[in-house]
Structure formats: structure tokens, C-alpha cells
Amino acid sequence: MTHVRFDPPNRRYAGYIFDCDGTLADTMPLHFRAWREALIKAGATFEFTWDLFVSRAGMSLEHTVVELSEQFSIQLDSTIIAGEHRAIYRVLETDVRAVPGVLEFARDVAAFAPVAVASGSIRPNVLRSLEQIGARDLFPIIITPEDVSRGKPDPEMFLLAAARMGVAPKQCLVLEDGALGIEAARRAGMDYALVLP
């Protein structure tokens, strides 16, 4: 299990938006392993390090492959590698646990404000992760790449979540573990709290 630092904010917000992977659900080590296996299978010649992985946290799989292709000047098929990652991850995701403290915080704030999930993972993965940590019914609003044209660090996901909650962006708090998600929250004009590994 990942050890995290999370200091809940003292003030109340009108709405709360949670990332899923690495924020609500402790899935990051599983995604990292799936990435490494998928890239090796695709013949990638660069080392996919943890730092490289974390730098793209919150980005869609396909977009990540496109960026890796550009960064390392290598031709990688985003559809094939993303599909391979999903297949490997599906096998690994049998024992997903909640990130300590964050799910409890989500339950606390849901008692007085709307809550949403905005994740760079596809909807089926997010739903399975939430189901495994016992939080599927807690989040009536779930935004995934299928709902938007641009992922994090673009603010579109968070702005859509705020609109569906009926809350002004400046009255929302975003909880994130990734730099791209923090940047998306900043661009959306939202406050944010960082969940640190």
C-alpha cells in the first residue's frame, strides 16, 4: 500500500472534485507495472521510470503514448499500447485499496456538499476502482476522458464536474496527486489539495 500525506483543508467548499487513481484508490503501482509491461511488449527502447510515469499522471493512456513517442523520438502505436495496458491492468486490479484518509474525507464532505470524480482513466476502470474501495455509490458525478475533448492539464474535466454539481468553479476544491491535475485545477480557478506519496 502507498503511504500518503494528506492534510484536509480547514475551510468548507460548496463542491469537491476528486481524482481517482492515486487520490481515492491506491492504483498507481499497478498502473506503473502495466505501463512497463505494455511498453516492453511494444519494443520501446527507453526506460519507463517511476518519475516519468508520475509526470504524466492524470493524462489519458493514448495521449501519454503520443507524448512518449515525441519525447523519445520513437514510433509507438497509441491504440495498441493503450489497449495492452488496459488488458494487463485488468488482471492486476484485483486488490485495489483506498488511499488512507482521502475516502474518509470524501464521506465527511459528502454529508454537506456535492462530490464528483474527475479521472484520466476510462470509465470502466474508474467504476471498478470505486466499487473495490466501497465508494461507487458515494459519487453520483463521474467525469472521464469519454466526457471531454481535452484531458488534464486542460481544465475541461473539472469545469464539467463543477457544472454538473451546480457549483461555481471558485467554490470547488480539487483533490489530486498529480502535477497535471493540479495544473488543471489552477486553470479552472479552483482551490486544490495535494495528496502526496
The residue length of the chain stands at 197
Active-site residue, selected from the candidate residues 7, 19, 21, 137: 19
Determine whether 19 is an active site residue.
Answer: yes
**Which residues lie closer than 8 Å to 196 by C-beta, 6 or more apart?**
4, 5, 6, 177
CA distances from residue 153 to 33, 77, 135, 179 in whole angstroms, order as listed: 23, 22, 25, 8
State which amino acid sits at residue 157.
M
CA atoms of 175 and 155, how far apart (whole Å):
14
Catalytic residue list: 19
